[in-house]
Structure 1
Amino acid sequence: MSTTSSLTIGVLALQGDVREHRAMLEQCGVQTIGVRRPAELAQVDGIVIPGGESTTIGKLARIFDLFEPLRQGLRDGLPAFGTCAGMIMLADAIEGGTADQETFGGIDMVVRRNGFGRQVDSFEATVRFNPSWATAFDSPATFIRAPYVEKVGGAAEVAATVTAPGGDRIVAVRQGRLLATSFHPEITGDTRIHELFVELVRS
Structure 2
Amino acid sequence: MTVVGLLGLQGAFLDHIRHLTSLGAGYRIIRDAAGLMAVDRLIIPGGESTVMGKFLQEFRMIDPLRARIAQGMPVWGICAGAVLLAGTVDGGPGRLQVLPVSVARNAYGRQLASREHDIDIPILAAAGGASPFPAVFIRSPRILAVGPEVAVHARAFKDPVFVQKGRVMATTFHPELTMDPVFHHYFMGL
Q: TM-score, normalised by structure 1?
A: 0.87
Instruction: From the superposition, tell whether residues 123 and 133 of structure 1 become closer, same or farther in structure 2 (CA, over 3 Å).
Output: closer
Aligned residue number for residue 68 of structure 2 = 73
- Give the SS at the match of 2:84: helix
Q: Per-residue displacement from partner, 1:118-163 (whole Å, max 9, x unpaired)?
A: 1111111111113399547421111110012111111100011113
1:86 paired with 2:81, answer: yes
Deviation at 1:105, TM superposition (A): 2.0
1:149 to 139, 143, 147: 143
User: What residue in structure 2 maps to residue 194 of structure 1?
Assistant: 184
Aligned CA-pair RMSD: 1.8
Distance in 2 separating the partners of 1:22 and 1:171: 23
- Which residue is equivalent to 1:181? 171
Cα separation, 1, equivalents of 2:72 and 2:95? 17
Equivalent residues of 1:140, 1:188 under 8 A apart? yes
- The TM-score, its normalising length taken from structure 2, stands at 0.92
CA shift, 1:23, in A, is: 2.1
Amino acid at match of 1:187: L
Q: Distance in 2 between matches of 1:62 and 1:134?
A: 39
Deviating beyond 3 angstroms after TM superposition, the runs of 4 or more aligned structure 1 residues are 131-137
Post-superposition Cα deviations, 1:30-67, rounded to whole Å, max 9, x if no partner, equal: 10000001121101110000011111111011222212
Residue among 123, 128, 148 paired with 1:131: 123
1:151/1:133 Cα in 2 relative to 1: closer, same or farther (>3 Å)? farther
Structure 1: stretches of 5+ with no match in the other structure: 1-5
Question: Letter of the aligned partner of 1:171 in structure 2?
Answer: V
Percent of aligned pairs sharing the same letter: 37
| Alpha-carbon distance between aligned partners in 2 of 1:106 and 1:190, rounded to the nearest angstrom | 27
- 1:46 aligns with 41
Superimposed CA distance per residue, residues 146-191 of structure 1 (whole angstroms, 9 cap, x where no aligned partner): 012111111100011113xxxx111110110011000011111110
